[in-house]
Amino acid sequence: MTSRPARQPAPAPDSGRRRAGLAKGAGRAGGANLWASGAEGGVPRLWTRDFGLFFTARAVARFGDMMLPVALAAGLVGHGGGAGAVGAALASFTASFAGLVVFGGVVADRFDPRHLMIGADLVRVGTEVLAASLFLTGHVVLWQVCAIGAVNGVCAAMFQPGLTSTVPRIAHDVQAANGAVRTAESCMAIGGPAAAGVLVGVTSPGGVFLAHAATYLVSALCLLLLRLPPRPGRPAAGSFAADLAEGWREFRARTWMWAVIAVWMVFMAAAWGPAVPLVATEVIAAHGTGAYGLVNSALGAGMALGGLVAMRVRPRYPLRAGALALFGCFLQPATVGAGCGVAVISAGFVVAGAAMAFWGVLWITSVQTRVPAAVLNRIHAYEVAGSAAMLPVGQGLAGPAAGAFGASPVLLAGAAVALAAGAALLAIPAVRNLGRVDAAETAAVLRPAGRPRADRGRAGA
């Protein structure tokens, strides 16, 4: 889930002209956060050195991640495996990630999340090189591939929570930053699989794993070069269980947050999750593999479009606008379930992708601007765990449900659930009435403890 805006008003003057620089401290609306700003003439500047590094890290890493399923499928099938082997390899990652991301949030709040992210990337450089050696030498054993996937899932669980708390530290305009990153990741979701297919043909699946390892190395280097401001007050060094419990209390205390996650879990399990495998089987059976590639590209293009729109559109009530956009997600399962042609399916996927990305940007921006920095990683981990846990459940239920009722009825039921999810979000007052936190307004109160309200003579981070 994620966010974006257009142009922020300049910060109000405070006994003269205030420079937009680094600020952190106590925030409004029940939250404190870290904000970084690079401003010229009072206009927030998104493309600072640090944001450029972070943007590069995310885009390159996403490109590599989207190559992985192609390499796994080609490699395992080429060594006698089938759909079950590919599913087991992917599930090993998902299970360890969903099961440990909450603990990753606690660790990220206790220590420097950037160090955890760099460490996770470097470990994954090693695991992908190891996977490449298995496929290049022809000694492919499924349990070894699954073990590598599980380690990668642990690394992702340590990496993911820090992403959310890093953005407000490097970008004054958090929504625009989220939109830019989402747009890039969506473009990489289109290019990654295509590049992997070319690499498999030119080299082998092992070559794709080596390329994947290189993307993690680039990501780690970019994160290492970041110059981040100090973090606000860190949680007291209590027990691990106490920190975990505190994160849960903070999560439960925000009705708008746990209500969204509750709805999202149903949406993932009954709509988006089952659509992933069923769309593949139905589109390929009816229109061929080329058509399936086309509609997936349409989905990625829609997500890129949604990210761009979210960079500019700044609704007064972000989650209300995002929930309205989510109604468009019903077109993904509905067009396939109704047996539409490729052109109609592709158009539906563009709309669904744009809706999902637009909601995601507004959602993550709301989290980043309304949650205290000291618990942000833990709260984000809880919401990610809730969302991620139900996606494989939905994917797992797709086969049995399609066998019992037919693929088309299951897809159409998923479309109905998507519409119901949007309606449910709009029906919750805490969700639909959650207001936007403006960057200028937030920056005025989010400043380092014990430091003056204005730093004169320096610009940028």
Q: Specify the CATH number for the domain of residue 160.
A: 1.20.1250.20
Say how many domains are in the chain: 1
b vs e for 334-352, b when ≥16 Cβ sit within 10 Å of the residue's Cβ?
Answer: bbbbeebebeebbbbbbbb
**Residue that is written with structure tokens 């969302």 in the block:** 387
451 part of a folded domain:
no
Closest CA to 154 of 191, 120, 197, 199: 120
Q: Which residue range(s) make up the domain with 71? A: 22-445
- The pair of structure tokens assigned to 447 is 């400043």
9 part of a folded domain:
no
Cα–Cα distance, 79 to 81 (Å, whole number): 6
Beta strands in 26-136 (DSSP E): 33-36, 38-40, 43-45
4 part of a folded domain:
no
One digit per residue, the tens of pLDDT, for the chain of length 461 reads 433 333 333 333 333 333 333 333 333 333 333 334 444 444 457 788 999 999 999 999 999 998 888 888 788 878 887 656 777 787 788 888 888 888 888 888 888 889 999 999 999 999 999 999 999 998 888 899 999 999 999 999 999 888 888 888 888 888 889 999 989 988 888 888 888 888 888 888 899 999 999 999 999 999 999 988 876 655 555 677 888 888 888 888 999 999 999 999 999 889 988 888 888 888 888 888 678 778 888 888 999 999 999 988 999 999 999 999 999 999 999 999 999 999 999 999 999 999 999 999 999 999 888 888 878 888 888 888 887 778 878 877 888 888 899 989 999 999 999 999 999 999 999 999 999 887 655 554 344 433 433 333 333 33
Would you list the DSSP string of 125-189?
Answer: HHHHHHHHHHHHHT---HHHHHHHHHHHHHHHHHHHHHHHHHHHHH-SSHHHHHHHHHHHHHHHH
2 part of a folded domain:
no
Burial class (CB in 10 A: 0-12, 13-18, 19+), 40: exposed
**Would you say 227 and 461 are in contact if contact means Cβ atoms under 8 Å apart?**
yes
Kind plus residue range of the DSSP H or E element containing 376: helix 376-405
Non-local CB neighbours of 458 within 8 Å, separated by 6+ positions: 19, 21
16 part of a folded domain:
no
185 part of a folded domain:
yes
359 part of a folded domain:
yes
107 part of a folded domain:
yes
Cα–Cα distance, 112 to 120 (Å, whole number): 13
**Would you say 387 and 268 are in contact if contact means Cβ atoms under 8 Å apart?**
yes
